[in-house]
Amino acid sequence: MSIYCGIDWAERHHDVALVDDTGELLAKRHIPDDSAGYRLLLDLLAEYGDSEENPIPVAMETSRGLLVAVLRTGKREVFAINPMSAARYRDRLSASRKKSDSGDALVLANILRTDMHAHRPLPKDSDLARAISVLARAQQNATWNRQQTSNQLRSLLREFYPAALATFERWKNGLCRPEARELLKAAPTATLAARLTRTQLRAALKRAGRQRGIEAEAERLRQVFRGDWAHQPPLAEDALGKQMLALLVQLDAACTAADDLEVAVQEAFPQHPDAEIILSFPGLGVQLGARVLAEIGDDRHRFADARGMKAYAGSSPITRASGKKTSITRRWVKNDRLNHAGYLWAFATLRHSPGANGHYRGRRDAGDWHAAAERNLFNRMIGQLYHCLQHNKLFDEEAAFPTLLAAAA
């Protein structure tokens, strides 16, 4: 007799339900979210036959947290059920649309009992792959947060300090550069910026870490700051300056976090056995390669074939057919992080791979827009990545685009 477990998790407690092949409820528990509760859960599973040779599968509505980490020890399969799917199963079992935590745990257990073949368990990634996933996602979040804060600061400067935007416009990364942040600290308003001397400007550039061209840059900054600019009333300008300084503190923290996490990714990613294969692909560096590995993992049995990985990345099209109507569109349900990395990857590949560039140009000539052509290129590249990872091979330009390279020759 097979046993199935469903867990409805919450912040402070969890509801557990065990059912057998016939759907009969064998046991239910209400456990706290702490080590004592985890031991109660493991003891309950062992009481009903859970062992290393015959583990009881578990269904939950999350794939993260300490409870998931405890359950993933050994060979036990843990299924992360989408909450929307669980809601549809709940409607199937109860016409009155009633809902309770214990009832949701029973629904999750019955999902495994009836349709376990239709759901995929969490991948069995290595500990190093999970660590890289944490770091890569955190670095990506920090980068997005840095850009969002930078946009907010830029929008604020447009209201009262256009001289700063004109000064930093020629610099790469603009407001995120240390020189820009140091100058804004030294002169939070346009009035104060116009009073900065060459000595103060040189000192600010040196504090930011600049070592070359300081004299010429200080003179340029002085000329721009002392130009003819419109000003807010003095009191309003001072208030906006204080608001800008508060936002600048957030930008400093976001820049520091992004830089520190970037270093951590650079240290961890090359240690993974798949790093050499991933970095052999044109357009993939350490940071972007780490993001790709973070989303696909290193479990070779996670995807049945290349089509599964393409669908997971959202690069392959989806067909909707009903009666005489058929439409082929892009996927909306996908791994957004991997899809975002895919567009960056495809764009970078155009400059480093003649075959990829030829493929992209061919799609544009066929009528695809830029985004559609990039998505098609990403679809091809991730299929090749799947093949290389499965067969432990490095990327080969001639094998990847034989027709295009022959035509170009």
With 0-12 / 13-18 / 19 or more C-beta atoms within 10 angstroms meaning exposed / middle / buried, residue 143 is: middle
Which pLDDT does position 196 carry in this prediction? 93
Choose one of 95, 118, 141: the last residue of a domain.
118
Answer whether residue 230 shows pLDDT above 80: yes
Identify the residue with better confidence: 318 or 307: 307
CATH code for position 57: 3.30.420.40
Q: What is the pTM for the complete model shown? A: 0.87
Task: Give the Å distances, CA to CA, from 271 to 80, 275, 306, 402.
Answer: 29, 7, 25, 32
Q: Per the structure, how many domains does the chain have?
A: 3
Assigned domain for 168 exists: yes
Residue 254, pLDDT > 60, answer yes
Domain that holds residue 308: 276-408
Convert the pLDDT of each residue in 330-360 to its tens digit: 888 899 999 999 999 999 999 999 999 999 9
246 and 302 fall within a common domain: no
CA–CA separation, 290 vs 297, rounded Å? 10
- Mean pLDDT, the chain, as a whole number? 91
Regarding whether 287 and 251 lie in a shared domain, the answer is: no
Q: Do 376 and 316 sit in the same domain of this protein?
A: yes
The verdict on residue 395 lying in a domain is yes
Residue 125 counted as domain residue: no
In a domain, 185, yes or no: yes
| Cα 105 from chain centroid (whole Å) | 29
Residue 124 domain-assigned (yes or no):
no
pLDDT attached to residue 157: 94
CB 6 within 8 A of CB 112: yes
Residue 369 has pLDDT above 70, yes or no: yes
CA distances from 369 to 274, 310, 362, 365, 379 (A): 33, 20, 11, 9, 15
Task: List, in order, residues 6 or more apart from 125 with CB less than 8 Å away.
Answer: 133, 297, 298, 299
Residues 197 and 315 in one domain: no
Looking at the fold, whether 384 and 292 belong to one and the same domain comes out as yes
Per-residue confidence (pLDDT) for residue 84, from 0 to 100: 87
Of 246, 267, 288, which residue is a domain's last? Answer: 267
Domain limit, last residue, from 76, 94, 118: 118
Rounded to an integer, the average pLDDT of 191-210 is: 93
In this structure, the strands spanning 58-60 and 78-80 are parallel
Answer yes or no: do 135 and 263 share one domain: yes
Do 382 and 300 reside in the same domain of the chain? yes
pLDDT of residue 308: 93
